[in-house]
Amino acid sequence: NAGVTQTPKFQVLKTGQSMTLQCAQDMNHEYMSWYRQDPGMGLRLIHYSVGAGITDQGEVPNGYNVSRSTTEDFPLRLLSAAPSQTSVYFCASSQIGTGDYGYTFGSGTRLTVV
Amino acid sequence: EDQVTQSPEALRLQEGESSSLNCSYTVSGLRGLFWYRQDPGKGPEFLFTLYSAGEEKEKERLKATLTKKESFLHITAPKPEDSATYLCAGLSAAGNKLTFGGGTRVLVKP
């Protein structure tokens, strides 16, 4: 059971470039989300989805797009990378409507924008 | 707006020296208070969920408690392998979104 898989693990982008961070889960979880983690800022929610075809914005959505075409996949797109998007990005998933709402996190993508 | 605040930011302990981490929260209609452990270069790992004031949960040397305004993570007789960042998060009634605190970095020296 792989859990939540994120690719790539590391990425360096130039300002203005675009890229997609991949996230896949094999636990049939309805809920998926993207967080960014910055020193002193904690984990902040970027976008989330409660099921295929349904997405919504979190606390810091600007500069990021998401889509959810399948239950398993929830990619995060940076349309025009900026140095302020240098961060560690985590994808997480969970069941909805059951007890113990524990999120399962991926191992993260470290992104540097130069 | 939901808020979760953790203290202290960092904690240095000698092996065997018990201590407590604090998590203060203001979360609308709290549905659950979560504790996670995060090791360097890795994603957070789920530890506990607490649902109501007075609830306690234990796992090895860790014990989590919950009041109406705070949660505590007690580390009893810690070992060096307990060194990590411990994250607290609150789930509001408004949806399935977690609000995280900034974390407490714990270093246990042998």
For residue range B30-55, list pLDDT tens digits in order.
Answer: 889 999 999 999 999 999 999 999 99
**For residue B17, which of B105, B103, B79 has the smallest C-alpha distance?**
B79
Q: How many A/B residue pairs have CB atoms within 8 Å?
A: 55
Distance CA B21, CA B9 (A): 9
Q: What is the pLDDT of residue A1?
A: 63
Distance CA A90, CA B35 (A): 17
**Nearest Cβ partner for A101 among B49, B100, B101:** B49
Buried b / exposed e over A68-92, threshold 16 CB at 10 Å, is: beebbebbbebeebeeebbbbbbbb
Mean pLDDT of A98-111: 83
Mean pLDDT of B10-21: 97
Does A98 have pLDDT greater than 70?
A: no
Contact with chain B for residue A89, Cβ under 8 A:
no
The strand pair at A104-105 and B62-66 is best described as unpaired
**Nearest Cβ partner for B96 among A43, A94, A107:** A94
pLDDT in tens, A20-49: 999 999 999 999 999 999 987 889 999 999
DSSP class of A73: B
Contact between B2 and B53 (Cβ < 8 Å): no
Dihedral (CA of A114, B43, B28, A46) sign: positive
Lowest mean pLDDT among A94-98, B10-14, B39-43: A94-98
Mean pLDDT of B12-35: 95
Does B15 have pLDDT greater than 80?
A: yes
